[in-house]
Amino acid sequence: MISYAPRRRRSPRAGLWLALVAAGVVLFAIGVALGEALYDNPRPGGTLTYVRTLHPLKVAPSVPTRTITITATS
């Protein structure tokens, strides 16, 4: 007859350690999410900058164009 060694049961401490590690990971993720949310929100009353590209208007063909040169001496 073959005798088998009894199986080792997982100790309650291992489950406690797993629960603590999982709780730590969850708290870390919540902290990172809160930090990113606070970093992304602008402060009230801050300066807003708008960037626009202005294109020149076309000159009507009926208006003649002239080049004027001004020379100033001091």
Q: Over the stretch 8-65, which tens digit does the pLDDT of each residue have? A: 666 678 888 999 999 999 999 999 999 988 888 766 777 778 889 988 888 667 666 7
> Is residue 54 in some structural domain?
no
> Is residue 17 in some structural domain?
yes
What is the predicted pLDDT for the residue at 22? Answer: 97
> Is residue 63 in some structural domain?
no
> Is residue 49 in some structural domain?
no
Separation between Cα atoms, residue 15 and residue 66, nearest integer Å: 88
Residue 59 zone, left/alpha/beta (φ > 0; ψ -120 to 50; rest): beta
Question: What's the structural domain count of the chain?
Answer: 1
What is the predicted pLDDT for the residue at 12? Answer: 73
What is the predicted pLDDT for the residue at 13? Answer: 85
Listed in sequence order, the residues at least 6 apart from 72 whose beta carbon sits closer than 8 Å to its beta carbon are none
Q: Which DSSP symbol is given to 15?
A: H
> Beta-carbon neighbour count of residue 35 at 10 Å?
10
Polymer length of the chain: 74
